[in-house]
Amino acid sequence: MGDETAAGRGETDGETRARRVDRRTLIRVGGMAATVGTVGRVARPSTGRAVAQATPSGEPVTVTDNGLPPENQPEQVEVYEQIVERYESANPNVTVESTANAWDPQTFPARLAAGELEDAFNVPYTEPQGIIARGQAADITEYLQAWPSFPSYNPNALQVVSDAEGRIYGIPIFGYALGLMYNRTFFEEAGLDPDSPPATWDDLRSAAKALTGDGRAGFAETSTDNQGGWHFTAWTYSAGGTLEEVDAEGGATAVFNSEEGVAALQLLKGMRFEDEAMTDRQLLNQDDTREMMATGQIAMCVQAPDSLPWIADRYPDVDMEQFGFGILPQNGGNATLAGGSVWMFNPNSEPEVIQAAVDWILFKEFDLENLDARLAADQERGALIGAPESPIFTGEYLEQRQEVFARYANAPTENYRAFIEGSATLELRGEPPVETQQLYAAIDPAVQAVLTDEGADPQELLDEAAEQFQSQVLDRL
């Protein structure tokens, strides 16, 4: 062992970073989970265009964003480029330049300070409040309110991107709730009803035991990249617990070393060592469990529904009919974790560029004619359309949007009925509000311990994590 180099690993893999972006989110998104592909009525789409002209002056403007799909997904890149072409032909004075630099918390401050950040950047729901508080995003209130469909926004979704005064700093585009992904074929083979996935912790344990065998684990759970803390939060919610308490002065207290938190860790530890129904390999992240689902190494895992198109894109030969989606199994909390993603805008960009960037994002995400064309292209390339979402809109625009989706939906939405109907009865709770990523980072080791050490003490682990998070993070704010 000689001259070892201690070089940091830059995030160079587009997929890896995309995973970090699309994974967690939260905040209460109010509405119930609904599939976007179940509305039967077909109507001519009306345009959702916001601003008649992208910029008031009509002067040439170049807009940059980080929405380009990764290079190793050439078909997605082609569809994306078609959208850019449509926009640029309708707005000849605007040039769109996109990168695949998916948002990365580790490089974000440096790129902003160095002037390297794109004009528009996509982040998960965990981030906007911190970004707003640090002055790292532009105020787009007037631009967004000028969009004709703005009144259809779910107020709870807008809350994610608003400050205490109600100023708006971002555009929510997507919402979801965590649930249970499972393999229906394995359920049938094990004598379980594939239309009734586990809805309680007890059901989950017995199903995982029944599904384990033939070189396959009944269940797998994440515990690295802050995703152990992320899913622990959902499990704690499902038991009725909470992670942080914020007082009237804004001071926060870590309270996750509670009875509910301990119960969540005991559930995982019991499945791992008593039931022996989990994978031998641990220290997993979300991509790992998705791959394990796609390749039949596990029968169940916690996922957001966007895991379905993720698998369909990366494993085109996998039969998507085999996957079902249920709610996060409950233990008295009657709740799950909800999240999504938003676009925010570089505060250092010129106002005219920001205005054009907002217009471009509204077109890209919400223009109904564009959506129609994009879904047609997505359907042609074999993408999965119709995975459940938690709607961020209400009223007329939501209906119009669902009508477009209904036209192209090819996902086996019947397989998601347990999730869609079950989510309607659950409270969708947002992520813990203060220093969320550091909270998750503090909890990861506790989740790792119960999944790798038969003698681990959940209460002791959570006490240590809570003390560390409180003294090192919360008390220093």
Partner 1 sequence: MSLRTPSLPAAPAGSPRVLAPSRGRAARRAHLVRAVTAYLFLLPALLAFALFAWYPIVRGLIVSFQEVNLVDPPRWVGLENFRQLIDDPLFVTAWANTLRFAGLGLLLGYAVPFVLALAINEVRHLRWYFRLAFYLPVVLPPIVAVYLWQWILDPGPGLANQILGWFGVDPQPWLQSSDTAMLSLVIVATWSYAGSTMLIYLAALQGVPAHLYDAAEVDGANLLRRLFDITLPQLRFILLIMLVLQIIGTMQVFTEPFVLTDGGPANATVTVLLLLYRYAFQYGNYGAASALGLMLFVVLVAFSLLYLWLTRRFRP
Place of tokens 């038969």: 454
DSSP assignment letter at 246: E
Q: Taking a C-beta distance cutoff of 8 angstroms, is the pair 201, 331 a contact?
A: yes
Please tell me whether residue 118 binds partner 1 under the rule CB under 8 A: no
* Contact flag: residue 162 with partner 1 (CB under 8 A): no
Nearest alpha-carbon partner for 415 in 194, 206, 126: 194
Binding window for partner 1 (CB under 8 A); candidates: 43-51, 148-156, 308-316, 447-455? 447-455
Q: Judged by CB under 8 A, does residue 113 bind partner 1?
A: yes
Residue 56 dihedral angles phi and psi, to the nearest 5°? -65, -35
Q: Segment contacting partner 1 (CB under 8 A): 55-63, 132-140, 200-208, 386-394?
A: 132-140
What phi-psi label fits residue 395: left (phi over 0), alpha (psi between -120 and 50 degrees) or beta?
Answer: left
Q: Is residue 208 a contact point for partner 1 (CB under 8 A)?
A: no
Examine residue 438 and tell whether it contacts partner 1 (CB under 8 A). yes
Residue 3 touching partner 1 (CB under 8 A): yes
In degrees and rounded to multiples of 5, residue 284 shows phi and psi of -95, 155
Give the integer Cα–Cα distance in Å for 254 and 243.
Answer: 6
CA distance 223 to 273: 16
For partner 1, which stretch binds (CB under 8 A), given 3-11, 16-24, 77-85, 413-421? 3-11
Asked whether 138 and 346 are in contact (CB, 8 A), the reply is: yes
Task: Output the smallest distance, CB 440 to partner 1, in A.
Answer: 10
CB of 127 to partner 1, least distance (A): 12
Among 188, 195, 274, 281, interactor with partner 1 by CB under 8 A: 281
Selected binder of partner 1 within 358, 426, 461, 466 (CB under 8 A): 461
Least separation, in Å, of the C-beta of 106 and partner 1?
A: 4
Question: Residues near 47 by Cβ (< 8 Å), separated by ≥ 6?
Answer: 367, 368, 369
State how far the Cα of 154 lies from the Cα of 174, in Å rounded to an integer.
Answer: 12
DSSP class per residue in 296-358: TSEEEEEE-TTHHHHHHHH-TTS-GGGEEEEEPPBSS--EEEEEEEEEEE-TTS-HHHHHHHH
Is 292 one of the binding residues for partner 1 (CB under 8 A)?
no
When asked if residue 477 is in the footprint of partner 1 (CB under 8 A), the reply is: no
Which residue from 396, 355, 358, 339 is spatially nearest to 151, judged by alpha carbons? Answer: 396
Candidates 137-145, 176-184, 218-226, 386-394 — which segment interacts with partner 1 by CB under 8 A?
218-226
Instruction: Tell me if 157 contacts partner 1 by CB under 8 A.
Output: no
* Residue 271 interacting with partner 1 (CB under 8 A): no
Structure tokens at 139: 């105020």
Instruction: Compute how many residues bind partner 1; rule: CB under 8 A.
Output: 46
Specify the stretch interacting with partner 1 by CB under 8 A; choose among 109-117, 120-128, 154-162, 378-386.
Answer: 109-117
Number of alpha carbons in the 13 Å side-chain half-sphere of residue 153: 24
Contact status: 451 vs partner 1 (CB under 8 A): yes
Contact 25/176 with Cβ under 8 angstroms?
A: yes
107 makes contact with partner 1 (CB under 8 A): yes
Q: Which of 43, 110, 246, 424 binds partner 1 (CB under 8 A)?
A: 110
Q: Write out the binding residues for partner 1, residues 360-419 only, by CB under 8 A.
A: none
Name the site residues for partner 1 (rule: CB under 8 A).
1-9, 105-107, 109-110, 112-113, 134-136, 223-225, 279-283, 437-438, 441, 444-446, 448-449, 451-453, 456, 461, 464, 468, 471-473, 476
